[in-house]
Amino acid sequence: MNGTIAWITARGLFGRRRFLLLLPLPVLMIGLGVICRAAGVVPEEWGDAVILGLGFAVMLPVVSLIVGTGVLGSEIDDGTVVHVLAKPLPRREIIFAKLAVAVGVTTLTVAIPMYVVGVLAHSVGLGLGLVGASAVGAAAYCALFLALSLVTRRPVLLGLVYILLWEGLLGNIVRGTRVLSIQQYVVTLADEMSPTLLLEGKVSVVLAAVMSALFFLGATALAVNRLRSFSVAGETS
Amino acid sequence: MIELTNVSRWYGNVVAVNDVTMTLGPGVTGLLGPNGAGKTTLLHMMAGFLAPSRGTVTVNGEPAWRNPAVYRHLGLVSEREAVHGFLSAREFVLASARLHKLADPAAAAQRALDLVEMTGAQDRRIDTYSKGMRQRTRVAAALVHEPDVLLLDEPFNGMDPRQRLHMMELLDRLGAAGRTILFSSHILEEVEQVSGTVQVIVAGRLAASGDYRRIRRLMTNRPHVFAVQSSDDRALAVALMRQASVAGVELDRAGLTVRAGDYGTFTRALPKVALAEGIRVQRLLPSDESLESVFSYLVEA
């Protein structure tokens, strides 16, 4: 873990206006939870929609996408990545530092509203379960989106396709796609950490745990390897 | 020391660099060529940011590609003026020193900032700097680990004359201190003022290489075409034909088109001839001064 890279990455992340995009979803999530609770709606009626429909299906992947593609992708876009790469550092050191910042920021952004909603809907136990599952999800998503920013010039677009089409659409229609859906792992893990009637895992716990780890490790290894042969486009291209 | 052996690089069907072999040693070398000649591609390959499609690129004997260890002896100032604008110059150079894992990063950063004379504004955000200041900051960051080799891509672009002079002096000093400095430019005068040796690259090929004076002579002594208008074109044409420096004269309604053997002799001879014949020259226009024509002439030479 390289402190200097983490420091530059964090300053870059919070220094860009893009950072403000992180705020609306968590605020919306807490707002909905508070309104439902204040209006006296039973948690069974709104818990699933807010926690799963908004939290796990939208907020977690979208925040991960913004942060995960932001830590390295925005530096590639504006060319500042060259300053970091022109140093005698093993490439894994750069990826690890960027990933640590991404996962940390995403977890922090997602865990707070998740915890609040979990407590409002059920109990502190659910809140903590949601926090734990969010952290796992943040790690897997961020690793995936960080790797995407090295694989393609359009990481945000490709990331959105994954979130909306693969996880959002196909995940509900074609059961087989759930095996490769981080969202399903996260829901299963949350349900396992604090079993309630609000959430229902659709894949097995073992599969969720193993596949989350595989996504995280595989994407990280891919990112390190791609960064080793990172090419700067010449004047002719 | 940088060595390129039979280096080519292509993008699909487009050949950007074509079979270039060169060795760069201590001192300042200018990489000269028109825009799109492949200078940046060449520099990127030397800096390990691009794999050669064929051939080898080594820096101090080590391959440049997929080998972060070369950055211990290599500094790069790329053309894209990309800096972390939210940092101050001191933070930026200090971060570079830390990433190089230097023993005393703060002292190294201060020394580098001193060298480029950026200590005055070092605590302001880079966003607020002028182009020349940013450039100097980037040079400081590239120099913080005192590399043997410094590569600069179009370092004088967008600088005002004073900043340019300052940068030239800096490069001169670094070269005199025994470092290998390579900078690219598409402007002959820039190269002339700084460097002892020149590598001219045209359309991806190494067109000429060696002492800049020889290349400069090649460039100034090449045939020139001038458009001339005077009070008596016909008489001037006759008088000019007697000059050894004139290869041919064409007379038409718009005036004279004079083909001169070399630039200097002809431009010195013309006023004397006109004066002696009592002819007033109203217009003298060199008609093939585009850089491309200069370079294409060099390729033929």
State ipTM: 0.89
Task: Assign domain B222-300 one CATH number from 3.30.70.640, 3.40.50.300, 2.60.40.1730, 3.30.70.100.
Answer: 3.30.70.100
B11, B83, B100 ranked by CB distance to A236: nearest = B11
- Closest by CA to A216, choosing from A66, A58, A112, A96, is A96
Mean pLDDT of A22-44: 93
Statement: residue A80 has pLDDT above 70: yes
A82, A90, A91 ranked by CB distance to B82: nearest = A82
Find which of A14, A77, A82, A229 to mutate to test the B interface (most B CBs within 10 Å of its CB). Answer: A82
| One-letter amino acid of B57 | V
A78 contact B CB<8A: yes
Q: Which two tokens stand for residue B122?
A: 């070092």
Cβ burial, residue A29 (10 Å; 0-12/13-18/19+) = buried
Q: What is the pLDDT of residues B123-172, one digit of tens each?
A: 999 999 988 889 899 999 999 999 999 999 999 887 888 888 888 999 99
Q: Is B14 helix (H, G, I), strand (E, B) or coil?
A: strand
Mean pLDDT of B31-39: 88
Looking at residue B20, the DSSP 8-state letter turns out to be: E
Q: Which two tokens stand for residue A177?
A: 């796609």
Q: What is the pLDDT of residues A83-96, one digit of tens each?
A: 999 999 999 999 99
Percent of chain B clearing pLDDT 90 (strictly above): 61
| One-letter amino acid of A64 | S
How far from the centroid of its chain's Cα atoms is residue B117's Cα?
Answer: 23
**Residue A68 CA: distances (Å) to CA of A6, A18, A25, A83, A114:** 13, 12, 16, 20, 19
Mean pLDDT of A44-70: 94
Q: Which residues contact B276 (CB under 8 A, 6 or more apart)?
A: B239
Chain B CB contacts of A12 under 8 Å are: 84, 86
Statement: residue A237 has pLDDT above 50: no
- Domain B2-219 annotated CATH 3.40.50.300: yes
Chain B CB contacts of A3 under 8 Å are: 98
Residues A82, B35: C-beta atoms closer than 8 Å: no
- Closest by CA to B25, choosing from B76, B59, B66, is B59
| One-letter amino acid of B123 | D
Looking at residue B282, the DSSP 8-state letter turns out to be: E
Residues B14, A229: C-beta atoms closer than 8 Å: no
DSSP per-residue codes, B34-77: -TTSSHHHHHHHHTTSS--SEEEEEETTEE-TT-GGGGGSEEEE
Mean pLDDT of A131-156: 96
A15, A88, A236 ranked by CB distance to B71: nearest = A88
Cβ burial, residue A74 (10 Å; 0-12/13-18/19+) = middle
Mean predicted lDDT score pLDDT of chain A: 93
d(C-alpha B13, C-alpha B58), whole Å: 26
Chain B CB contacts of A2 under 8 Å are: 99
Element of type H or E holding B88 = none
d(C-alpha B103, C-alpha B107), whole Å: 9
DSSP strand pairing (B54-59 vs B180-185): unpaired
B40, B72, B99 ranked by CB distance to A4: nearest = B99
Half-sphere exposure of residue B293: CA atoms within 13 angstroms, side-chain side: 10
Decide if B223 contacts B261 (C-beta within 8 A).
yes
Decide if B179 contacts B200 (C-beta within 8 A).
no
Q: What is the pLDDT of residues B161-199, one digit of tens each?
A: 888 888 899 999 999 999 999 999 988 778 878 877 889
Mean pLDDT of B233-252: 90
d(C-alpha A188, C-alpha A101), whole Å: 25
The full set of domain ranges for chain B reads: 2-219, 222-300
d(C-alpha B37, C-alpha B200), whole Å: 10
Q: Look at A8-12, A91-95, B25-29, B222-226 and tell me which has the smallest mean pLDDT.
A: B222-226
Statement: residue B300 has pLDDT above 70: no
Tell me the residues of B at the A interface, defined by beta carbons under 8 Å apart.
9, 11, 14, 16, 35-36, 38-41, 44, 47, 49-51, 65-66, 68-72, 74-76, 78, 80, 82-84, 86-87, 95-96, 98-101, 141-142
Decide if B3 contacts B9 (C-beta within 8 A).
no
d(C-alpha A125, C-alpha A129), whole Å: 6
Q: What is the pTM of this model?
A: 0.85
Give the pLDDT of residue B261: 80
B68, B78, B80 ranked by CB distance to A89: nearest = B68
Q: Is A129 helix (H, G, I), strand (E, B) or coil?
A: helix
